[in-house]
Structure 1
Amino acid sequence: MIDRNTSDHQIFELDLAAHESQRRTEILAALGESWDPVAVLEGEDEAYRLLYSGLDAEQQATYDMLVAAEVLPGPGRA
């Protein structure tokens, strides 16, 4: 942390890199050793596929419009 006073204002700097590193370490520890990020992403893709399967023609047209407008991710990009 650096604290410098100038005649007009005070400059305050804080390096958050160490805090971010600690935060990420704690997250990974909380997830545990059995956490498999590839399996999680595959599960999300499967859930996304199921969510948008079986649409009628009007729903499919709306879905396609939203994907084209990049409001929704396309298939396989959940």
Structure 2
Amino acid sequence: MNDRNTSDHHIFELDLTEHEARRRTEVLAALGDTWDPIAVMEGEAEANRLLYSGLDADQQATYDMLVAAGVLPSSGQA
């Protein structure tokens, strides 16, 4: 047996499972019954489309380069 406890260091474990379950429950309660995750995702997609719309030629070239490199999702994935 490898006892890692020394006079200077003491090993202890902390199980956060119960805390995490309670945290998730509180988050969902705070969101309320009207929270619509699909509407949120659609809103984010629309915001991304608006953000990258109306780019000039240089901006569009930079955007295309970032999409090709995988840094940004293509407009169909946003």
TM-score, normalising length from structure 1?
A: 0.81
What are structure 1's unaligned runs of at least 5 residues? none
- Sort the Cα spacing of 1:44 and 1:7 in 2 relative to 1 into closer, same or farther, 3 A: closer
2:23 aligns to what?
Answer: 23
CA distance in 2, matches of 1:69, 1:19: 39
CA distance in 2, matches of 1:58, 1:69: 17
CA distance in 1, matches of 2:40, 2:11: 43
Q: Secondary structure at the match of 1:11?
A: coil
Q: Percent identity?
A: 72
1:59 aligns to what?
Answer: 59
1:43 and 2:43 matched: yes
CA distance in 2, matches of 1:66, 1:50: 17
Structure that is richer in strand per residue: 1
Number of matched pairs: 74
For the aligned residues, what is the CA RMSD? 1.8
Q: Deviations over 1:18-77 (max 9, x none)?
A: 111111111111110000000000010011011111112111110011122222222243
What are structure 2's unaligned runs of at least 5 residues? none
